[in-house]
Amino acid sequence: MAIDDEIKQLFTAAQINLPESMKLVIELKDKFDITECSADTILQSIKTDDEQAGEKRVYLSSRIRESLNSCQRCPLYLSESNTRKVPGEGPLNSPLVLIGEGPGLDEDKQGRPFVGRAGQLLTTILDKLNIDRQKIYITNVVKCRPPQNRTPIKKEIDACSHNLELELSIISPKVIIALGAVPLNYFKPGSSIMRERGRWIVSKDYWIMPTFHPAYILRQQGKTLTKVKWAVWQDFNNAIKKLTELCPEAISKISCNKKE
Ligand code: URA
């Protein structure tokens, strides 16, 4: 019996559902004729720059989308404000992942994360840091737009968390920037963004930098605006510094190729 069948049988016998990431790894092995057994090594193999790694990433991205599209775990997918699921966007070998709260009106219309006003501000911040938005992975804690853009409730966040877990288990980024209280609380429940922003959280091998959400910056004025902008600028810079320390080659992978 093939080892993957044995794994499936063991999980079935123990009445445990095989984790989604494990199912995808097994599929990847079948599809690409991979003989390697360790899931970690297989996932590492999607990070390289060769052609087959690229094909594996395309395959996994479409499977992540399929899994998301079939999700009916909370009522948000039926909500009138939600016309489609908004998957994460970017390469699955990105060493940096940005996580927001959930799609707003523009994101719901376009089916892409961070494309409204807050998203434009986020792109400006990344530009100033010379980071190419298309070379990093950007996603949200919940993938369906909550009614009137309200903050997602715990039940919705819990129900949706398998989607983010799947993305993170495949990408295994070095550094995560948590944009606002919702992603902060996903990693560290019960915390306040006012207290925690700028302070590293280390969880499951990820270095997580919580900072203010770009929409929060857009709501500020006067001196508070200057203070909040400065805080976010420092947080992003610290995240990039940490990424350079952990993975010196990462920066060239995510930088804009500026013309001379
Ligand atoms: N706010 C978020 O948190 N996510 C988006 O995708 C857009 C706005």
Task: Give the pLDDT confidence of 224-249 residue by residue, as tens digits.
Answer: 999 999 999 999 999 999 999 999 99
Domain span at residue 126? 71-254
pLDDT of residue 260: 44
Residue 200 lies in a domain: yes
Q: Are 157 and 70 in contact (CB under 8 A)?
A: no
Closest-CA residue to 209 (of 174, 169, 244, 236): 236
* Residue ranges, the chain, pLDDT below 50: 260
3-state secondary structure of 99: strand
- β-bridge pairing 201-203 and 175-179: unpaired
Q: What are phi and psi of 211, to 5 degrees?
A: -145, 175
Q: Please give the tally of structural domains in the chain.
A: 1
101 within ligand 1 shell (Cβ under 6 A): yes
- Entry pTM: 0.93
pLDDT of residue 89: 98
Q: What are phi and psi of 88, to 5 degrees?
A: -65, 165
Residue 22 lies in a domain: no
Residue 46 lies in a domain: no
Residue 239 lies in a domain: yes
Residue 39 lies in a domain: no
Q: 98: which strand partners?
A: 138, 177
Residue 15 lies in a domain: no
Q: Which of 84, 85, 114 is the pocket-test mutation for ligand 1 (most atoms within 8 Å of CB)?
A: 114
Closest C-alpha residue for ligand 1 atom 7: 114
pLDDT of residue 19: 85
The domain spanning residue 109 has which CATH number? 3.40.470.10
114 within ligand 1 shell (Cβ under 6 A): yes
Dihedral of CA 152/155/157/160: which sign? Answer: negative
Residue 8 lies in a domain: no
pLDDT of residue 15: 62
User: Quick one: which atom of ligand 1 is closest to the CA of 112?
Assistant: 6
Residue 50 lies in a domain: no
Q: How far is the CA of 122 from the centre of ligand 1 (A)?
A: 10
3-state secondary structure of 176: strand
